[in-house]
Amino acid sequence: MRSVTINPAKMCQPIGAMYALFGIHAAAPLVHGSQGCAAYPMRMFNRHFREPVQVAVSALGEDAAVFGGAENLVASIENVIARRHPDLIGVITTCLSETIGDDIEGAIRGGDFGKSKVIPIHTPSYVGSHVTGYDNALKSLVADLSGNSASEDGGEDRVNIIPGMINPGDVCEVKHILDLMRVPHTVISDISETLDAPLILPKPPFPEGGTSIDELVNSAKACGVISLCDHAGGTAAKFLSGKYGMTADSVCPVGVVNTDRFLDSLCNMTGVEVPYSLEKERGRLIDAMVDVHQYTYGKRAAIYGDPDISLAIAEFVSELGMDPVIISSSTASGKFLRRAKGITDGEILNGRDLYELQLAVEMVCPEILFGNTHCKLIADKEKLAFIRCGFPVSDRIGYQRHGITGYRGGIYLADLITNAILDRYGQHG
């Protein structure tokens, strides 16, 4: 058993928390740590989303490590308010601010920040992963804001959707389904417009879209909540269910079966029926799967990603007749391990690094690999067909705009898989 990590498969908690805050309207992430804790993630987000994201930082130095960084934090909050006038500031802790024991809540309570809401989000970098950070951020947002004031709109027939760390295109596909079913909804952390914004001059201080504070407040009055990624948002869903008594479910709608389950959950929560337009979309997906079956059947797949995405893709490739011989998760989880055992008899890498994934690929010899940009070197070395999925994808343009969720997303993913197989192995591979 190795005691060191080689080629890590996960990122730190603050990155996940920033991801969550980008989906809140007029929200400013403020990293309470050193400058590098904001500079590196911003570069990663810029390369994946091709959007000029902004992350503030309290810029802790050596003196703060000894005497504490409360003064830096308060000054940073005041600077962000003076320059950007945000509706919400999420104070994201790091390994440094957590280790020195800064009283984040006390510093926030002692400040006068006007109309801007300031929410502490604890994301120590030395435990968990980016998935944990996203989950912690969503829990902090709904725990601090939901149900805090009266609303003119009762919202009893409304459904909360917690998307997790998926792409703007994925969120758009889910909203497309909800619109066809005429289900009122709140997407809690809606990046469909904030991270796929039009170029408009003069540039607004914040992009349009995102989940407003009022929507977060009214999320308490929904009839149900569905987390698309149980590991990244499931804790917030459980909080809303436990505190307000709403029905909760978790399903990542990738492929036929999981999208069917998503629709069933919506129907059970709201009493609506599935429209014929969605039945036609389902039929088109099945037709597309039949069209490509001769190329996908029997192909051995290795899948790496965040736990819920990895599992959902593994289930979909099984529907295509493929054999998921390796299922690997960026984040260790007992829930992931139990579900993966129900999908494959092959290798399961639960929170292991990419070096471990490469060793498994060399041993098991799959024909196609699913993963983010960091997996490209493995695919090249082993001469595998390669499908980019997850975060980050920095070596392709436009990836973030196309969703793999829903029936339409399933068609897109089936085409991607088949074309990758044809490119690598030809018509008779």
Q: What is the CATH number of the domain that holds 213?
A: 3.40.50.1980
Do 231 and 272 fall into the same domain? Answer: yes
Q: Which two tokens mark 189?
A: 């952390």
Q: Residue 57: beta bridge partners?
A: 31
Closest by Cα among 429, 408, 409 to 419: 429
**Does 154 map to a domain?**
no
Secondary structure tally for the chain: helices H, strands E: 18, 13
Residue 142 lies in a domain: no
Whether residue 2 lies inside any domain: the answer is: no
Sheet containing 247-250: order of strands: 185-187, 159-162, 224-227, 247-250
Q: How far is CA 417 from CA 289, 290, 292, 361, in A?
A: 11, 14, 9, 18
Asked if residue 197 is part of any domain, the answer here is yes
Asked if the structure places residue 151 within a domain, the reply is no
Last residue of a domain, one of 277, 305, 327: 277
Q: Are residues 287 and 408 in the same domain?
A: yes
- Residue 138 placed within a domain: no
- For residues 306 and 411, membership in a common domain is answered with yes
Look at residues 265, 284, 283, 179 and name the one whose alpha carbon lies nearest to residue 223.
265
- pLDDT given at position 393: 96
In a domain, 249, yes or no: yes
Q: What are the strands, taking DSSP E only, across 254-342?
A: 300-305, 323-329
Residue 349, both tokens? 């890498």
299 and 257 in a common domain: no
Residue 348, helix vs strand vs coil: strand
User: In angstroms, rounded to a whole number, what is the distance separating the alpha carbons of residues 427 and 425?
Assistant: 7
Residue finishing a domain among 258, 277, 296: 277
Same domain, 287 and 411: yes
Per-residue pLDDT in tens (0 to 9) along the chain, 429 residues? 677 888 898 999 999 999 999 999 999 999 999 999 999 999 999 999 999 999 999 999 888 777 788 899 999 999 999 999 999 999 999 999 999 999 999 999 988 899 999 999 999 999 999 999 999 999 999 999 998 765 555 557 899 999 999 999 999 999 999 999 999 999 999 999 999 999 988 888 999 999 999 999 999 999 999 999 999 999 999 999 999 999 999 999 999 999 999 999 999 999 999 999 999 999 999 999 999 999 999 999 999 999 999 999 999 999 999 999 999 999 999 999 999 999 999 999 999 999 999 999 999 999 999 999 999 999 999 999 999 999 999 999 999 999 999 999 999 999 999 999 999 998 765
Burial of 203 (0-12, 13-18, 19+ CB in 10 A): exposed
Q: What are phi and psi of 212, to 5 degrees?
A: -80, 165
62, 63, 126 from 66: Cα distances, Å: 7, 5, 19
Contact 90, 84 (CB under 8 A): no
| pLDDT of 152 | 54
Distance of CA 1 to the CA centre of its chain: 30
Closest among 257, 152, 140, 148 to 188, alpha carbons compared: 140
Residue ending a domain, among 129, 144, 176, is: 129
Whether 291 is covered by a domain: the verdict is yes
* Residues with Cβ within 8 Å of residue 62, at least 6 apart in sequence: none
Break the chain down into helix, strand, coil percent, rounded to 5: 50, 15, 35
- Domain limits for position 58: 13-129
- Dihedral of the alpha carbons of 34, 330, 196, 420, in degrees to the nearest 10: 140
Tally the domains of the chain. Answer: 3
The two beta strands, 300-305 and 88-93, are unpaired
**Residues 364/347, Cβ–Cβ less than 8 Å:** yes
- For residues 118 and 196, state if they share a domain: no
Instruction: Tell me how crowded residue 337 is: count the other CB atoms within 10 A of its CB.
Output: 16
Residues 310 and 237 both lie in one domain? no
Question: Are 200 and 330 part of one and the same domain?
Answer: no
